[in-house]
């Protein structure tokens, strides 16, 4: 039965893809031109979300090395921990932004078509 339904309209898949592309373009137009600065800002957000925890961890590692003598370098260990925390932080920000985009996309797909009111 499903094969009969598929064979009844061979262009349905093409129409669906065109409709999705049209919705994406309309959504992009409604958001406006974010431009190069928006992209650079996102790079900066991700970069700083890794850099700040790494620098804080390095400072803590240097402080520990200065206060307590050890055969291990706390600065290097804290650097690795700081980069790990920073990468997790960046992953969190990116996944949250991605989820927001996906939620908007699914909302647009479920939204019924608008009908104009007749006078």
The verdict on residue 117 lying in a domain is no
The verdict on residue 2 lying in a domain is no
The verdict on residue 73 lying in a domain is yes
The two structure tokens encoding residue 81: 């921990």
Range of the domain at 80: 33-109
What pTM value is reported for the model?
0.57
The verdict on residue 45 lying in a domain is yes
The verdict on residue 63 lying in a domain is yes
DSSP annotation of 99? H
Spatial separation of the C-alpha atoms in residues 40 and 9, rounded to whole Å: 45
10-residue stretch averages of pLDDT, the chain, 119 residues long = 57 84 75 68 83 96 93 95 95 86 69 53
The verdict on residue 114 lying in a domain is no
Spatial separation of the C-alpha atoms in residues 58 and 90, rounded to whole Å: 18
The verdict on residue 44 lying in a domain is yes
The count of domains in the chain is 1
Distances (CA, A) of 41 to 46, 49, 66, 82, 113: 9, 12, 37, 22, 35
- Nearest-10 Cα torsion for 4, 7, 9, 10: 160
């Amino acid at each position: 039965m499903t094969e009969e339904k598929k064979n009844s309209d061979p262009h349905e898949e093409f129409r669906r893809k065109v409709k999705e592309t049209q919705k994406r373009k309309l959504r992009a137009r409604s958001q406006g031109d974010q431009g190069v600065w928006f992209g650079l800002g996102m790079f900066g957000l991700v970069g700083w979300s890794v850099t700040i925890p790494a620098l804080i961890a390095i400072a803590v590692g240097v402080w520990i090395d200065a206060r307590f003598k050890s055969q291990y370098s706390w600065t290097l260990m804290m650097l690795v921990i700081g980069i790990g925390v920073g990468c997790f932080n960046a992953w969190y920000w990116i996944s949250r932004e991605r989820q927001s985009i996906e939620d908007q996309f699914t909302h647009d797909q479920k939204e019924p078509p608008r009908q104009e009111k007749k006078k």
